[in-house]
Amino acid sequence: MIPSAHGIPREEKIISTRNLKFTYEGGVQALQGLNLDIRSGDYVAIVGGNGSGKTTLAKALNGLLKPTSGTVMVNGMPTSELKVAEIAKVVGYAFQNPDHQLFCSSVEDEVRFGPLNLGYPEQEVRQKVERAIEAMNLGQLRALAPLSLRLGERRRVSIASVIAMDPQVLILDEPTTGLDAGESLELMNSLKRLNAEGKTIILITHDMKVVAEHARRVIVMANGRMILDSDSRGVFSDLAILGESNLEPPPVVRLAHRLAKHGIPHDVMSVEELVFQLLRSRGGG
Amino acid sequence: MGGFIDLYTEADTFLHRMDPRVKIVAVLLLSLLAFILSHLYLLLALLTFIFLLLFLARATISRTAFALKFVLRFMVLIIILWPIFDPTGTPVLASLGPIKITEPAVWRGVTSAARVGCLATVWYILMFTTSQRDLVRALVKMGVRFDFGLTLAISLRFLPTFGALIDSIKDAQRARGLELSKGGLLKRSKNYVAVLVPTIVSALRTADTLSLALQSRAYGARADRTYLRDLNMRPSDYVALAVLAAILVLPAFAKFVMQVDI
Amino acid sequence: MSAQGSNWGNSGAAGKPANYVSPKIVAVYGVLTALTAAITYASYTPFSPTKGYFNLGDSMVFFSALAFGWRAGAICGGIGSAAADILLGSGIYAPITLVAKGAEGLVAGVIGRMKGGKAWAVALGIGAGGACMITTYFLGEWLLLDVGLGKAIAEIPINIAQVVLGGTIGALLSYYVKKSYPSLTKT
């Protein structure tokens, strides 16, 4: 049995999968029977090495891929009976490469594209666009051509274009890849605010530093299976399971583990925590 | 759409071993032959010969089926439409207003369909048994300039890449509520712009990087560049070439010199 | 050993630089050819029962011609479209397609870029290029492949739709890409 982060179902389930399997046309079994519940307000990181099935899972959650067998339910409806455009109202998906989504001649037009496709009335579209532009801090770039911006800005535009559809769940595929530390921090802070406002966030990543600092729940994938579903502290106390999925925990976590015999606990996740524990053990010793 | 289809199937048959230049010539000669022959049974014989070669090349049914389906529908359409537009000859089999279906027209339609069948399937002999790399090398050997050959090789190399890119971009836009298969031609075409712009921009960026890579690997530094693997005609290739020439020349001689109706 | 020109010190007497087109052209033409084939393939929509098929390949032929000139239009349009035919299992069309789409790209490139590519020139170029394509297919099917007048005529309306839609989209794409990414369309 996979340990669950939330013993009691405290909030409503938005997405749930039952025995979800997916096999690609060539015969590659990318998902091999997943049972997973995403609850409203979650901040989940799906981690795993390349080819572990995490992107396939994300595409199954928003209906781009329909299950080969088993079910994915979004708000109680199976995705196999819904159109991607319908699911997009509930589950938004920002692709890894923002350049795959951007094509308009201004940031504002780009952000409008989604809500217009979903057929919202003009007034509502305008509101949603304003909120999305504000959430991703794009006010000053709104008239510029998206593809002429820097990567960090392009990624924020592509995320804004998804937020503008006002989905309950936001899936982000490798949002910090290629960003410098400042851009990455700015983006993660925006996501934190969105989560605080009630949006459910699903991060797909192998950036373990981002996971340690932001996610509350971590799902570890390997070979198309979930090998762990736990709160983030639980994940970092078990280095073996990360190794199994070709992941490397951040240096501070590895350092803490090496210092275990000196009394440092296993679940240290940040530099601040390690400093605190070191000072405490010195003071105590 | 499930990725791109490269008909080339790895195997070790005499057609796979044959020099690709001979196979290119074979496709050209057999196509010419299909135009020379005008009798249905001779065209059917040619069609059988082509299928025999495909069979010997171990072309599997499932891979051929995709391609053959198109050819078959094409042939059926010719057989149906030909007699409607060709009222010449007797006896008249049926007539409806201005439309007259005559027996010779029906046979002409079937003959044309058989010829089309030959012209379409003869390509598969080459495509099933020749890798893209060998194809480009053969063209360069046959006198195509190296830079043209390289351009062709690059485009073949990037075809599957761009196929996957388009798939990914389609998915990305579908996730934004775009419905590509909805609406009439006009709406669909307009929706496609959301796929085409990112595709073209990504592809042109690839071209930018690629041209730097070509320069840094000394493209064009020397006219007398060498190749790692060269093509060499073996005795069996000359035999094949001779047989092909005979297959073409004999009917051509019979038809144009001896005025035999074939 | 001479150190003149672009020779390297040890390149030997025969090592004179090849008279090839620039690497930029090789890369761009290769990519445009692949794009033409890929987009033709990806946007392929078969219509039954006439079994004509509709695709947006023409938009790439026009884009190549208008954004990169008649050479790109002719080479990338012709070869890319012919390659798509072979991939789609209709290799029989490939030789006709090579000529038809090559001529389309060539004519659209020559006329469409006159006077710096004014709107009327673009429209005229697309019309003239499209007419070449439609005529080539018609004559090729009727006279060369000898498929009968009926089949050859059945193709015309679909080809007209392809020129109108493909031309509009191709012109828009070329305008947009040239404006937004001037650096990408220089060869």
- For chain C, give the mean pLDDT: 81
Domain count across chain C? 1
Those of residues 99-118 in A touching chain B at CB distance below 8 A are: 99-103, 113-115, 117-118
How many beta-carbon pairs under 8 angstroms link B with C? 220
Closest residue of chain B to A90, computed from CA coordinates: B175
Residues of B in contact with A166 (CB under 8 A): none
Quick one: tokens of C86?
């072979």
- Residue at C170 is within a domain: yes
CB–CB of C181 and A105 under 8 A?
Answer: no
d(CA A36, CA B15): 53
How many beta-carbon pairs under 8 angstroms link A with B? 66
Q: How confident is the model at residue B16 (pLDDT cuts 50, 70, 90)?
A: confident
The CATH number given to whatever domain includes residue C56 is: 1.10.1760.20
CB–CB of B177 and A165 under 8 A?
Answer: yes
Quick one: tokens of B15?
């057609």
- What pLDDT, in 10s, does the model give residues B147-197? 888 888 888 888 888 888 998 999 999 999 888 877 777 777 788 888 999
Mean pLDDT (whole number) for A10-16: 78
Cα C117 vs. chain centroid, distance in angstroms?
18
- Residue at C143 is within a domain: yes
H or E element in which residue B95 lies:
strand B92-96
Mean pLDDT (whole number) for B100-114: 87
Residue B236 above 60 pLDDT?
yes
Q: How confident is the model at residue A161 (pLDDT cuts 50, 70, 90)?
A: very high
- In chain A, % helix, strand, coil (3-state, to 5) comes to 40, 20, 35
Token pair 């071209």 is found at B207
Q: How confident is the model at residue A277 (pLDDT cuts 50, 70, 90)?
A: confident
- What pLDDT, in 10s, does the model give residues B123-144? 888 888 888 788 888 888 888 8
Question: Min CA distance, B165 vs chain C (Å)?
Answer: 10
Residues of A in contact with C179 (CB under 8 A): 105
Dihedral through CA B82, CA B84, CA B88, CA B89, nearest 10? 80
Q: How confident is the model at residue C184 (pLDDT cuts 50, 70, 90)?
A: low
Partner A contacted by C120 (CB < 8 A): no
Count of C-beta atoms within a 10 Å radius of residue A9: 10
DSSP class of residue C65 equals H
Residues of A with CB under 8 A from a CB of C: 105, 145, 147-148
CB–CB of B71 and C38 under 8 A?
Answer: no
**CB contact set of A41 (below 8 Å; sequence gap of 6+):** A11, A195, A198, A200
Q: How confident is the model at residue B224 (pLDDT cuts 50, 70, 90)?
A: low
- Picking from C16, C28, C31 by the largest number of B CB atoms within 10 A of its own CB, the best residue to mutate is C31
- What pLDDT, in 10s, does the model give residues A103-158? 888 899 999 999 998 889 999 999 999 999 999 989 999 998 888 888 889 999 99
Asked if C64 contacts B188 with a C-beta cutoff of 8 angstroms, the reply is: no
Cα B222 vs. chain centroid, distance in angstroms?
34
- What pLDDT, in 10s, does the model give residues C95-122? 899 999 999 999 999 998 888 778 888 8
pLDDT at B249: 81
- Residue at C8 is within a domain: no
CB–CB of A148 and C176 under 8 A?
Answer: no
Q: Say which of B3, B171, B198 has its CB closest to residue A103.
A: B198
- Residue at C146 is within a domain: yes
**CB contact set of C146 (below 8 Å; sequence gap of 6+):** B112, B115
Helices and strands (DSSP H and E) totals, chain B: 9, 2
* A107, A179, B239, C97 from B14: Cα distances, Å: 59, 54, 12, 31
**CB contact set of A34 (below 8 Å; sequence gap of 6+):** A17, A19, A20, A21, A57, A70, A225, A226
Instruction: List the A69-74 sheet strands across, edge first.
Output: A29-39, A13-23, A69-74, A77-78
- Residue at C137 is within a domain: yes
Mean pLDDT (whole number) for B32-37: 88
Mean pLDDT (whole number) for A210-230: 89
Residue C4 above 80 pLDDT?
no
Could you give the percent of chain C with pLDDT greater than 70?
81
Those of residues 170-199 in B touching chain A at CB distance below 8 A are: 171-179, 193-194, 196-198
**What is the rounded end-to-end Cα distance, in angstroms, of chain A?**
40
- Residue at C100 is within a domain: yes
d(CA B178, CA A118): 8
* Type of residue numbered B184: G
- What pLDDT, in 10s, does the model give residues A116-128? 988 899 999 999 9
Could you give the percent of chain A with pLDDT greater than 90?
46
Residues of B in contact with C82 (CB under 8 A): none
CB–CB of A147 and C181 under 8 A?
Answer: yes
- Residue at C186 is within a domain: no
**CB contact set of A215 (below 8 Å; sequence gap of 6+):** A43, A44, A45, A203, A232
Classify strands A200-205 and A217-222 as parallel, antiparallel or unpaired: unpaired
Sign of CA dihedral C53, C143, B51, B8: negative
More confident residue, A39 or C3: A39
Largest CA distance in chain C: 71
Q: Say which of A100, A103, A114 has its CB closest to residue B177.
A: A114
d(CA C123, CA C129): 10
Residues of C in contact with A148 (CB under 8 A): 180-181
More confident residue, A167 or A248: A167
Count of C-beta atoms within a 10 Å radius of residue B89: 15
pLDDT at A72: 94
Closest residue of chain C to B65, computed from CA coordinates: C89
Quick one: tokens of C163?
């020129």
Residue A42 above 80 pLDDT?
yes
CB–CB of A101 and B172 under 8 A?
Answer: yes
Residues of C in contact with B47 (CB under 8 A): none
CB–CB of B1 and C42 under 8 A?
Answer: yes
State which residues form the domain around C173. 23-180
Those of residues 43-102 in A touching chain B at CB distance below 8 A are: 59, 62, 64, 83-85, 88-89, 92-93, 95, 97, 99-102
Q: Where are the domains of chain B?
A: 1-130+232-262, 145-228
Q: Which of C18, C17, C1 is nearest to C9 (CA)?
A: C1
Quick one: tokens of C16?
């004179």
Partner A contacted by B3 (CB < 8 A): yes
Token pair 């803490």 is found at A256
Q: Say which of B81, B119, B162 has its CB closest to residue C154.
A: B81
d(CA A49, CA B254): 68
d(CA A144, CA A131): 18
- Residue at C117 is within a domain: yes
d(CA B162, CA B201): 12
Mean pLDDT (whole number) for B4-9: 67
Q: Say which of C42, C75, C94 has its CB closest to residue B163.
A: C42
Residue A225 above 60 pLDDT?
yes
Those of residues 160-189 in A touching chain B at CB distance below 8 A are: 161-162, 165
Residue B111 above 70 pLDDT?
yes
* A89, B1, B123, B128, C89 from C86: Cα distances, Å: 40, 17, 8, 12, 5
Could you give the percent of chain A with pLDDT greater than 70?
95
d(CA B135, CA B149): 10
Residues of A in contact with B202 (CB under 8 A): 99-100
- For chain B, give the mean pLDDT: 82
pLDDT at B6: 67
Helices (H), chain A: 54-61, 84-87, 107-117, 122-135, 151-163, 181-196, 208-214, 232-236, 239-244, 251-258, 271-284
Residues of C in contact with A145 (CB under 8 A): 180
d(CA B100, CA B112): 19
Q: Which of A2-16, A78-92, B86-100, C128-142 has the lowest mean pLDDT?
A: A2-16
Residue C48 above 60 pLDDT?
no
pLDDT at C139: 92
The ipTM of this complex is: 0.82
* A22, A74, A230, C80, C87 from B1: Cα distances, Å: 17, 25, 37, 19, 13
Residues of A in contact with B179 (CB under 8 A): 83, 85, 117
Q: Say which of C43, C161, C173 has its CB closest to residue B200.
A: C173
pLDDT at C53: 65
pLDDT at A4: 42
Quick one: tokens of B62?
């499932």
